[in-house]
Structure 1
């Protein structure tokens, strides 16, 4: 079993908020494909990273966490879905991670 997680930004690179419907669409897509999704919509995560190596500007953003439990892990599908999310949310890269997990 795997937990697949990814973060989506609340705002685009010009700081304009994405409509709530964009996040609802992701939630619907994942629920239809996998039978369920956990979306942390009320408590955005706060991220920070350097724009460039070394002296680059620190960028800050608020993001929403989505996670899905899957078995098996379809890497090809997730790679394509990540590319689709990058297009929709106008991002250079959206990190999608898969964590091995054990049900107790």
Structure 2
């Protein structure tokens, strides 16, 4: 089993907030494809990283998770590219972890 996490920003790089419809489109599409989804939206996570020695960048994000028995890397690569364009990002994180159900 694989856990896929998608980290989506609340704002684009110019500070414009994404609409609820944009998040619902992602949620509904993933739910339809994978039969369910977990969303962490009430308390956005805050990401900080150093772009340069002098510059720290901040993002407020929400996290979407789906579980799937098979990891279709080609599909996820294409989907990440689509989300990167849709959410106007230079880099958008989609990560997979192998999990063991107990």
Query: Is the shorter-chain TM-score for this pair beyond 0.5, marking a shared fold?
Result: yes
Q: Which residue number in structure 1 is paired with residue 62 of structure 2?
A: 64
| 5+ long unaligned stretches in structure 1 | none
Number of aligned residue pairs: give it: 102
Asked whether 1:26 is paired with 2:40, we answer: no
Secondary structure of the corresponding residue to residue 25 of structure 1: helix
Asked whether 1:36 is paired with 2:64, we answer: no
Pairwise CA distance, 1:38 = 0.6
RMSD across aligned C-alpha pairs, in angstroms?
Answer: 0.8
Measure the CA separation in 1 of the matches of 2:58 and 2:32.
32
Matches within 5 A, 1:93-104: 93-104=91-102
Q: Which residue number in structure 2 is paired with residue 9 of structure 1?
A: 9
Pairwise CA distance, 1:56 = 3.9
Measure the CA separation in 1 of the matches of 2:25 and 2:88.
16
| 5+ long unaligned stretches in structure 2 | none
Measure the CA separation in 1 of the matches of 2:87 and 2:34.
22
Pairwise CA distance, 1:92 = 0.8
Q: After the TM superposition, which segments of 4 or more aligned residues of structure 1 sit over 6 Å from their partners?
A: none
Q: TM-score, normalised by structure 2?
A: 0.96
Q: TM-score, normalised by structure 1?
A: 0.94
